[in-house]
Homo-oligomer: A and B are copies of this chain.
Amino acid sequence: MEEKYVYFFGNGKAEGDATMRELLGGKGANLAEMTNLGIPVPPGFTITTKVCVLYFENKGKYPLGLEEQVGEALGRVEKIMGAKFGDRENPLLVSVRSGARVSMPGMMDTVLNIGLNDSTVAGFIKGTNDERVGWDSYRRFVQMYAEVVMGIKSEGISPFEQAIEEKKREKGITQDTELGPKDLKELVYRFKEIIAERSGGKFPEEPLDQLWGAIGAVFRSWNTPRAKSYRQIHHIPENWGTAVNVQAMVFGNMGSDSATGVAFTRNPATGENIFYGEYLINAQGEDVVAGIRTPQPLNRASKKKPEQTSLEEAMPDVYKQLSEIREKLERHYRDTQDIEFTIQRGKLWMLQTRTGKRTAAAAVKIAVDMVGEGLIDRETAVLRVEPNQLDQLLHPMIDPQVEVRILARGLPASPGAATGKVVFTAEDAVELSQGGEKVILVRIETSPEDIQGMNAAQAILTARGGMTSHAAVVARGMGKCCVVGCGDLKIDYGKELFTVGDVVVKKGDYITLDGTSGKVILGQVRTITPSLSGDFKTLMDWADSFRRLGVRTNADQPKDAKVAREFGAEGIGLCRTEHMFFEGDRIDWVRKMILAGDKKGREEALNHLLPMQREDFLGIFKVMDGLPVTIRTLDPPLHEFLPKADEEISALASQMGVSFDELKAKVEGLSEANPMMGHRGCRLGIVYPEITEMQTRAIFQAACQAIKEGIKVLPEIMIPLVGDVNELRLQKEVVDRVGKETMAEQGVEVDYKVGTMIEIPRASLLADQIAQVAEFFSFGTNDLTQMTFGYSRDDAGVFLPFYVEKGILPHDPFQILDQEGVGQLVEMGVRKGRKTKPDLKIGICGEHGGEPNSVEFCHRVGLDYVSCSPYRVPIARLAAAHAALKGK
């Protein structure tokens, strides 16, 4: 039997349905589904994606039998519409549209009004009783056909638009709408001349030629460079192909009993269960979009001004019918739909239905409401909200009602919005904010020395740097709004101002940042803080009931830990001790420690740091009462704590009472060619065990004190950058020894663990050995990604965006975990680690711990928990629930 290439739909019965998306494409499958539901859909047929594949395999030849099947289906359409394709008296017009398995918006071609020619146009005019509509449709068709099918395109203004402009000049008019039927008719002929001039070919008068031309063009549009690169970026296989939908045209511009509109079955911004949409009387679909006329609201409930005329009022019967369809579609699809409709002379036609896009707030409300309405279950509700979307809900946002003056745009490094006075130094940020001012720290780029200022500021703006620059990473960790790499900013530290073009912004002037979009706005703008209770809480509780994966947070300060705990964090997965080293006068002691000539000198300086670190840990233990706290020993190379510029070195030298030359030489001696792979992590604690000793002592002293105060403390001491079990063994010896001493001194028992980060490829390869000593693993996927790819996060900005853009890599592996490469090492680490210790607790504390795809991967490979920055904790909780539900 001949293969079926064409699927008819119309008059309440379709050969396809919604399950046949692979064969019929998304659009075709939904048109068929609606037809089957008894919803009025203009009849038509879908040519399958299979035909597209065969078309390319056979170098532009259609499979045998297709022509016959198309002819037969077209006959059925004619019969339903009571019109005939190519008939002079009562011509049927059709549209030809693409429709792939997944939406590729704007990537492929469409041709409308097929079937018009010099003779059918008369019949069409007779039917519409509108000469202008007739010639205008014909004019548009010829132009569209020439451009899409015949490939007549120009770099500059199209020759067809030029011809229209000439005609308007000739007539002394300015608007297209002022062109009369005669003008339009003349333009049709002029267009045909242009086609002949440009292509040497002829516009096909024969409707069937037009139809096949359009079908071929739509198939070919699957392979335009634009579509190909879209697929590469979105990982859509080349061999899927597109379907083609041929459908009878209906017209919303046939008088005051005609209309066209778009609607959402619920409010897509708020999620309210109100039918929400716009329409235009006597108009075509493109008029709604073009914005020349102002669309009217769908119903009384959504009228904003009394003078508006809703569809409910203008065409009550049609509105009632549309409302019923809305109900039917929601009941059927069990989700909010985005629909398009046309009313042709009082008759309602549905042209499209698809899942409606919605804001995060709407997504949450709709999901929770629909459970209440019995439409969906809780699992489905949880799956309906995209984890990443929650980001919108967790940060303050700019009030969308307010008009703003955008000064510049940078990279949206950390979401949220904030208003404040501009300052240019970390010191000013601290000082002004202590005086109660809200400030925004503006720097060319930030460095670890700016930490306190960043902490004090409402938001951070930098002129240089990418999504993984210091400013971006730290700000995300702090859950603080941040815009980076804003190249238009010219910062003059000396004059304490920055300029963007002609605009000068001085220290103390107000600006507002939108870290979600990367906008820099002049002046103060009102921001909205969303609520985390109500529906949000309900949904998150459901999510928690489904997930297996624990969610912890990366937090270095009690303040951050508190936020994270409120967001549902179940412990701290990474507390970086070095961030504490920059506070106040600690940095002086850190520097003295680094520059000491011997162990004695180092120990002296460390003794000064000990009580400070102890207080840090005590603060965190108190906030995390009852929950585990993973503390990482010192990680960065020591030169990161030293000044770099000569004047700073000079200042430090006089403070320390040594000569500039001596200090400069020491600073240079510590500098490294590749600090990322240099003397850092446990390599420091091994060469200078006194550092690990001090940190351990601080942890145990704090823990003992907390326990004495009745707090439940579960410290997990984590040794960074381990590549060999001997490194961990030596550091664990130090921790156990100092811990034992301290517990004996204090007379308190602390329930602690010692484990390691797995962030060096070799650690994954030898995880079986490392697990002999480690009591837990935590994957540091930031560094693991750096080493596995050989990409320096600080330098990859030169080529990584290029790689992603060209599709060499599917995405930035620092943002989304590279499952096929780095993921192998994670899996191997888990497998080998658990081979040695079957109950080894394993987590992840790289930035990937808050990225939904990566969280899903962590669930799949059997991790116990993920740890992420405080503001991503809810995202991780939801992603973990998704992972568990999808894994079922």
**Which one of A407-415, A435-443, A522-530, A724-732 is at the B interface?**
A724-732
Q: Is A239 positioned at the interface, with any CB of B under 8 Å from its CB?
A: no
Across the two chains, which residue of chain B brings its CB closest to A786? B677
Across the two chains, which residue of chain B brings its CB closest to A798? B679
Chain B residues with CB under 8 A of A809:
724, 726
Q: Is A290 positioned at the interface, with any CB of B under 8 Å from its CB?
A: no
Q: Is A292 positioned at the interface, with any CB of B under 8 Å from its CB?
A: no
Q: Is A783 positioned at the interface, with any CB of B under 8 Å from its CB?
A: yes
A798 close to B678 (CB less than 8 A)? yes
Q: Is A401 positioned at the interface, with any CB of B under 8 Å from its CB?
A: no
Q: Is A765 positioned at the interface, with any CB of B under 8 Å from its CB?
A: yes
**Which one of A270-278, A420-428, A668-676, A874-882 is at the B interface?**
A668-676
Q: Is A597 positioned at the interface, with any CB of B under 8 Å from its CB?
A: no
Q: Is A478 positioned at the interface, with any CB of B under 8 Å from its CB?
A: no
Q: Do A822 and B677 form a contact, CB below 8 Å, given A723-B789, A790-B721?
A: no
CA distance A789 to B683 in the complex (A): 12
Q: Do A766 and B808 form a contact, CB below 8 Å, given A790-B677, A799-B686?
A: no
CA distance A673 to B786 in the complex (A): 13
Q: Is A820 positioned at the interface, with any CB of B under 8 Å from its CB?
A: yes
Q: Is A824 positioned at the interface, with any CB of B under 8 Å from its CB?
A: yes
Q: Is A186 positioned at the interface, with any CB of B under 8 Å from its CB?
A: no
CA distance A389 to B676 in the complex (A): 37
CA distance A706 to B766 in the complex (A): 49
CA distance A783 to B789 in the complex (A): 12
Q: Is A712 positioned at the interface, with any CB of B under 8 Å from its CB?
A: no
Chain B residues with CB under 8 A of A799:
679, 683, 686-687
**How far apart are A753's CB and chain B's nearest CB, in angstroms?**
22
CA distance A799 to B721 in the complex (A): 14
**How far apart are A479's CB and chain B's nearest CB, in angstroms?**
26
A808 close to B677 (CB less than 8 A)? no
Q: Is A787 positioned at the interface, with any CB of B under 8 Å from its CB?
A: yes
Q: Do A765 and B788 form a contact, CB below 8 Å, given A672-B794, A795-B678?
A: yes
Q: Is A25 positioned at the interface, with any CB of B under 8 Å from its CB?
A: no
How many monomers of this chain does the complex have? 2
Which among A676, A678, A783, A790 has the greatest number of chain B C-beta atoms within 10 A?
A790
B676 close to A677 (CB less than 8 A)? yes
Across the two chains, which residue of chain B brings its CB closest to A730? B808
B791 close to A821 (CB less than 8 A)? no
Across the two chains, which residue of chain B brings its CB closest to A726? B808
Q: Is A754 positioned at the interface, with any CB of B under 8 Å from its CB?
A: no
Which among A674, A794, A795, A824 has the greatest number of chain B C-beta atoms within 10 A?
A674
Scan A773-809; emit 1 where CB is below 8 A from any B CB, else 0. 0000000000100111111101110110011001111
**How far apart are A791's CB and chain B's nearest CB, in angstroms?**
6
Q: Is A760 positioned at the interface, with any CB of B under 8 Å from its CB?
A: yes
Contact with A825, one of B675, B686, B765, B803 (Cβ below 8 angstroms): B765
B761 close to A825 (CB less than 8 A)? yes
Q: Is A384 positioned at the interface, with any CB of B under 8 Å from its CB?
A: no
B795 close to A677 (CB less than 8 A)? yes
A677 close to B791 (CB less than 8 A)? yes
Chain B residues with CB under 8 A of A806:
686, 730
Chain B residues with CB under 8 A of A787:
761, 787-788, 790
Q: Do A765 and B824 form a contact, CB below 8 Å, given A674-B674, A808-B726?
A: yes
CA distance A672 to B675 in the complex (A): 11
Chain B residues with CB under 8 A of A676:
673-674, 677, 790, 792
CA distance A760 to B786 in the complex (A): 10
Q: Is A228 positioned at the interface, with any CB of B under 8 Å from its CB?
A: no
Chain B residues with CB under 8 A of A786:
677
B762 close to A808 (CB less than 8 A)? no
**How far apart are A770's CB and chain B's nearest CB, in angstroms?**
11
Contact with A686, one of B808, B821, B822 (Cβ below 8 angstroms): B808
CA distance A87 to B789 in the complex (A): 77
CA distance A795 to B799 in the complex (A): 25
CA distance A723 to B809 in the complex (A): 10
Chain A, 668-711, CB within 8 A of any chain B CB:
672-679, 683, 686-687
Contact with A788, one of B761, B789, B798, B820 (Cβ below 8 angstroms): B761
Chain B residues with CB under 8 A of A791:
677
What are 18 A-B pairs with beta-carbon distances under 8 A?
A673-B792, A675-B792, A675-B795, A677-B790, A677-B791, A677-B792, A679-B798, A686-B808, A724-B808, A724-B809, A726-B808, A730-B808, A761-B787, A761-B788, A765-B825, A783-B790, A787-B788, A787-B790
**8 interchain residue pairs of minimum CB distance:** A674-B792, A677-B792, A678-B795, A673-B794, A762-B821, A726-B808, A672-B795, A760-B790
Q: A674-B795, A724-B821, A762-B822 are in contact. List 9 more A-B contacts (CB 8 A).
A: A673-B794, A673-B795, A676-B792, A686-B802, A686-B806, A723-B789, A760-B788, A762-B788, A765-B820
